[in-house]
């Protein structure tokens, strides 16, 4: 009788121990217990991002996240048969119709996130009604976006030989396609033109500038006007990064110097606000023109960094995918207007010297 009881006790203990063991394994991240759906593990399947409309109606290579940006397990597709299966739908603000009729219709799968993508500045982005509480994540150049992708970046490089700028036959250049008299940058340009010859190119001047001409022009100038079309926090575009890359010293007009210095070293550019007047700026340019050693100081950063320009929109889509792999929580973009079009900062900076 006693032996029988002991035997039963033994089985109870054994059962208890095995339950405990299974429970422990379930809580250990490296094991998967039976009740856990493999789908819930982000590593188990690629993230599918549906490109709903081609940004600016231009197609791009979809098979690039892995090869170009080292971001794996991403499937970018433009095939709308994936509307119900995609983890995310990427929607470029520019291409949304006023009545949203060209957005996905029908119920949204519960896990699916809609990504609001916009790389224009608030001044150049129309406020389409009905966008609050529609999207889940923001993808923008803004550093406070959910997915923040700047127009370019300087990345650490191995020590590089001293940079020798290519031969220059012009002092100041500007390539401008969006030439609007009301843009504040026009006032700076016109004022500067009084003191220095500015070589201007673009649709309204000579003619359309091809990609190769664009590079040749910028690299043959000592200074390049990296003038943004509007002044907004973080709105620092390829105009800056291309000049840095091609070896012209950028003269920037845009947000405050401090904002630029979040992206590039302070000694890599000249800010129009660095001088009490445009005349003083012009004087400084002539000084640098005649004192080569001073001019070359603007290239010292090149010993430590090289320029990466963002490959829009393919890279942006890959970065979105990477974000989704790491952020699986539910989220809603509640106050898109208040956030993006917030005018409390920097919209209309007064001209300091008029």
In the complex, the residues that contact ligand NAG under the rule CB under 6 A are 57, 111, 113, 133, 136, 330-332
Closest C-alpha among 275, 283, 286 to residue 252: 275
HSE-CB for 158 with a 13 A CA cutoff: 0
Q: Which is nearer to ligand NAG, 3 or 58 (CB)?
A: 58
Residues marked active site are found at 120
DSSP string covering 157-224, please?
A: -S--PPP-PPP--EEEEEE-SS--TTSHHHHHHHHHHTTS-EEEESTTSS-PPPHHHHHHHHHTEEEE
Distance CA 129, CA 336 (A): 11
Q: Which is nearer to ligand NAG, 12 or 330 (CB)?
A: 330
**Residues 310 and 152: beta-carbon distance below 8 Å:** yes
**Residues 102 and 125: beta-carbon distance below 8 Å:** no
- Which residues lie closer than 8 Å to 337 by C-beta, 6 or more apart? 127, 131, 132
Q: Which is nearer to ligand NAG, 29 or 110 (CB)?
A: 110
- Taking the complex as a whole, the smallest distance from the CB of residue 136 to ligand NAG amounts, in Å, to 4
Distance CA 60, CA 9 (A): 69
- Taking the complex as a whole, the smallest distance from the CB of residue 310 to ligand NAG amounts, in Å, to 23
Q: Which is nearer to ligand NAG, 20 or 332 (CB)?
A: 332
- Taking the complex as a whole, the smallest distance from the CB of residue 351 to ligand NAG amounts, in Å, to 38
Q: Which is nearer to ligand NAG, 157 or 332 (CB)?
A: 332
Q: Which is nearer to ligand NAG, 133 or 166 (CB)?
A: 133
What DSSP element (H or E) covers 148? strand 147-148
Residue found by looking up tokens 């429970």 in the block: 23
| DSSP-assigned beta bridge partners for residue 221 | 170
Q: 3-state class of 122 per DSSP? A: helix
- Taking the complex as a whole, the smallest distance from the CB of residue 130 to ligand NAG amounts, in Å, to 12
- Taking the complex as a whole, the smallest distance from the CB of residue 39 to ligand NAG amounts, in Å, to 14
Output the six-digit token pair for 103: 């957005």
Q: Which is nearer to ligand NAG, 30 or 329 (CB)?
A: 329
Distance between alpha carbon 21 and the CA centroid of its chain, in Å? Answer: 47
- Taking the complex as a whole, the smallest distance from the CB of residue 214 to ligand NAG amounts, in Å, to 24
HSE-CB for 296 with a 13 A CA cutoff: 10
Spell out a b/e string for 282-296, using b for 16 or more CB atoms within 10 Å of the CB, else e.
Answer: beebeebbeeeeebe
Distance CA 188, CA 67 (A): 42
């Amino acid at each position: 009788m006693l032996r029988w009881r002991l035997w039963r006790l033994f089985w109870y203990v054994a059962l208890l121990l095995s339950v405990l063991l299974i429970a422990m394994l379930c809580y250990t991240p490296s094991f998967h217990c039976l009740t856990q759906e493999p789908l819930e593990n982000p590593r188990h399947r690629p993230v599918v991002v549906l490109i709903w409309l081609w940004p600016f109606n231009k197609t791009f290579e979809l098979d690039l996240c892995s090869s170009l940006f080292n971001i794996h397990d991403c499937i970018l597709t433009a095939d709308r048969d994936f509307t119900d299966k995609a983890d995310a739908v990427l929607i470029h603000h520019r291409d949304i119709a006023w009545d949203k009729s060209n957005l996905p219709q029908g119920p949204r799968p519960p896990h699916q996130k809609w990504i609001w993508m916009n790389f224009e500045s608030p001044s150049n982005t129309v406020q389409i009604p009905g966008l609050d509480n529609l999207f889940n994540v923001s993808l923008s150049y803004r550093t406070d976006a959910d997915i923040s992708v700047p127009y370019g970046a300087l990345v650490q490089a191995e020590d590089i030989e001293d940079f020798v700028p290519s031969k220059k036959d012009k002092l100041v250049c500007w390539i401008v396609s969006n030439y609007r008299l009301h843009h504040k940058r026009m006032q700076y340009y016109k004022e500067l033109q009084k003191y220095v010859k500015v070589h201007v190119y673009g649709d309204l001047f000579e003619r359309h500038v091809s990609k190769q001409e664009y590079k040749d022009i910028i690299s043959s100038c000592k200074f390049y006007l990296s003038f943004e079309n509007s002044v907004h926090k973080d709105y620092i575009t390829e105009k800056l990064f291309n000049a840095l890359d091609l070896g012209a010293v950028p003269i920037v007009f845009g947000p405050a110097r401090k904002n630029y210095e979040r992206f590039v070293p302070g000694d890599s550019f000249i800010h129009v606000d660095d001088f009490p007047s445009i005349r003083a700026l012009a004087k400084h340019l002539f000084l640098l023109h005649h004192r080569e050693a001073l001019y070359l100081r603007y290239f010292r950063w090149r010993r430590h960094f090289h320029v990466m320009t963002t490959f829009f929109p393919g890279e942006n889509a890959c970065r979105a995918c990477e974000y989704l792999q790491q952020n699986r929580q539910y989220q809603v973009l509640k106050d898109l207007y208040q956030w993006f079009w917030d005018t409390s900062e920097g919209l209309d900076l007064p001209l300091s010297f008029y």
